[in-house]
Structure 1
Amino acid sequence: MDRIVRGLALSTITSSVVMAGGYKIPEQSLNSMALSAAYVAHTSGADTAYFNPANMAFMHGGKRYVEGGITLAHLPSNEFQSLPAYSGESEVEDIPIPFLHYVSEAMGDFRWGVSLVVPGGLTKRWTTPVQKAIAEEFTLKVIELNPSISYKVSDHFSVGGGVRLIYSEGVVKSNSADAYNQQLALADIARDMEGDTFELGYNLALAYKPTSDINLAVTYRSNIDLDEEGTATLYGGGDQLYHDDASVSVPLPAALNLAVSKTWNDTFTLEFNYERTFWSAYKALDFEYTGTGIVLTPFDDPIAKDWKDTNTFRVGATIEMANKITAMMGFAIDETPVPEETIGFELPDSDAKVFSMGFRYQQSEDLSWGAAFLYDSKESRSIKGMGTFHEGGAFLTTVGVAYEY
């Protein structure tokens, strides 16, 4: 329990800026949601522009493709069980996540597309004294515009790539007053910070079709450092100590996907996907204050994160039925990047199992629509000297419409 008290004294300011690790959002379309993101080798609609732009070269050359939709992410409360004074429960969050994809007509062996997606983000709020002292609110939004292009090298091989245009904004709040008054914290300090940033990155893709029923794919998304800049207000003992410029940098990590799909009788497709996310780029969290005022040590000391690279294994099945319905289902095993030594209330993450299912209905030759549901089941996680995190996870529901013309 001493670990919690020391954490309140030393980490009240610098423990709460993370982003899409355990809360990354790889599912950015109806199909990808229904397949637990096992959707890299066998992509077929406008969302190909995002998940594997190299595959745009193999789509019908005389057609344009567009798809849009929205996902509602429901994040149940996390429960932290410890001694009664240190236990707590986070707020329930409901977050809408839109997406939009477009693929142009072919221009010889070239083709272009563009996607507007939300590849990561998190909102976590606590009102109980101990947790509020560290993460009263943490909100991070990441929006990506991803134009891409493909080139058909041959009838069996294509390449693709794009530019990642990222806008991110965040809110970080903490307040240890309640914990201090209950003698659960060693200091009465608080912070309120907002910031945003524009950043650039890239993505690359390869697609190979050795036969008409087998697809092989490799995709890579670059690391992007989110250098958030904004304003921070810091308090000590109820007095304002600082109100000026502040900044912090966290990584949107690189990710490598290797995928293979096999189709039987043009009706049943099975895809396997391995994803390696390079979270080891997240070594430490260090706020910088460049204005005038008093910055106490707990606000300014770097906090080690030492996240680790993670593996995710995905499998997805697609069944084309005779009644104009395409059924989809998926499963994934997802590792957490957060080691026990640096876990915090802003991201009480753990290993997860992902289950999903959905359908698409072909309303006409050019128009289809559907829905999908995904459940991200988080394991309970006991932290030596602190307590146990329970519940959490996520429920995601997606509706989408696609049109070809």
Structure 2
Amino acid sequence: MAFKVGSSTAVAVGIDYYWARKIAFDTASLQNKGDGDGWGWNISASHLNGPWSFGASFRSHAEADISGSTTAGGLTFGGTRTTLDIPWRAQIGVRYQVNPELAVEADVTRTGWSSFDILRISHNHPGVPINPIVSENHWKDVNAYRLGATYQLTSDTELRFGYSFDKGAMPDAYFSARTADADRNLFSIGIGRQLGDGLAIEAGYMYVKFKDRSLRSTTLPTTDPNGTLAYNGNYKTTVHLFGAGLSKRF
């Protein structure tokens, strides 16, 4: 819900629902699967001052309770449980309308990845003793920096350009190949076009280049391979994202 405060300022509050449709966290001998959900909240504000626009938002930490099953030795047992931590996120941004066609924007986002600390998967299978799985992650809170621009090509067509730098949250001491996180650069282009009668189409493309990462640990793995020589190697990742949408205003 959004509320106008004065002629140039608005605040909004909302509720977030998270649905983890599928969680897969396997080990060398166990296959764990599950799903679950959780709730959070958000608050934001915006202010207009001539060609300048200012905004800030905060999205709370949330926990999704996951339940599922474990497969071991060809047999599947229910009663597997864990809690998935979803980090908080704070963002501030500013936009400047250079002229009627061109606008530029910059923002900074801080994500509380330190809540992704220790993942513990318990197995409550009567008569089937399976030790809990404990994965130590100890991720760090990190910043992301974003620049964007829009250009009104015609009265009906807007071009969009963006660049972001996202800092990796995973330290070498707890590196895991399950996600292989790293610093990354993101480049995006997009277009929006009004079709008339309240209809509009949107399309965009983003290219994500992760910084190459190498792990050369000398730590022997125990029950938790994170940060150990079990994950030694070179990691390279690139991602291509495409999106399209159709909207209708009434």
State the TM bucket, normalised to the shorter chain. Answer: 0.7 to 0.9
C-alpha displacement of 1:338? 0.9
Pick from 180, 190, 193: which aligns with 1:358?
A: 190
* Identity value in percent: 20
Could you say which structure has the higher strand fraction?
A: 2
Contact 1:308 1:339 survives alignment (8 Å):
yes
CA distance in 2, matches of 1:257, 1:287: 32
Q: Deviations over 1:226-270 (max 9, x none)?
A: 2211222233xxx75x72301111211100000100002222110
CA distance in 2, matches of 1:366, 1:175: 51
Could you say which structure has the higher helix fraction?
A: 1
Q: Secondary structure at the match of 2:30?
A: strand
Contact 2:148 2:162 survives alignment (8 Å):
yes
Q: 2:60 corresponds to which residue? A: 222
- One-letter amino acid of the counterpart of residue 157, structure 1: T
Matched, 1:196 2:35: yes
Matched, 1:252 2:86: yes
Q: Deviations over 1:319-357 (max 9, x none)?
A: 012363211000000011111121222111111000000
Contact 1:283 1:304 survives alignment (8 Å):
yes
- One-letter amino acid of the counterpart of residue 240, structure 2: F
Contact 1:234 1:295 survives alignment (8 Å):
no
Contact 2:157 2:192 survives alignment (8 Å):
yes
Contact 2:108 2:145 survives alignment (8 Å):
yes
Pick from 164, 172, 188: which aligns with 2:24?
A: 172
Matched, 1:331 2:163: yes
CA distance in 2, matches of 1:401, 1:362: 10
Contact 2:39 2:64 survives alignment (8 Å):
no
- One-letter amino acid of the counterpart of residue 165, structure 1: Y
Matched, 1:388 2:233: yes
Contact 2:213 2:236 survives alignment (8 Å):
no
Q: Deviations over 1:98-148 (max 9, x none)?
A: xxxxxxxxxxxxxxxxxxxxxxxxxxxxxxxxxxxxxxxxxxxxxxxxxxx
CA distance in 1, matches of 2:233, 2:188: 27
- Which ranges of structure 1 fall in alignment gaps of 5 or more residues? 1-148, 177-189
- One-letter amino acid of the counterpart of residue 208, structure 2: D
C-alpha displacement of 1:393? 2.7
- Which ranges of structure 2 fall in alignment gaps of 5 or more residues? 218-228
The higher-RCO structure (CA 8 Å, 6+ apart) is: 1
Pick from 286, 311, 316: which aligns with 2:120?
A: 286
Contact 1:169 1:228 survives alignment (8 Å):
no
C-alpha displacement of 1:318? 0.3
- The normalised TM-score by structure 1 is 0.55
Structure 1 moving runs of 4+ over 6 Å: none
C-alpha displacement of 1:363? 2.0
Instruction: Supply the RMSD in Å over aligned alpha carbons.
Output: 1.9
- The normalised TM-score by structure 2 is 0.88
Contact 1:348 1:389 survives alignment (8 Å):
no
Pick from 102, 109, 126: which aligns with 1:275?
A: 109
Q: 2:3 corresponds to which residue? A: 151
Inter-CA distance 197–253: structure 2 relative to 1 (3 Å threshold): same
- One-letter amino acid of the counterpart of residue 49, structure 2: P
- One-letter amino acid of the counterpart of residue 367, structure 1: L
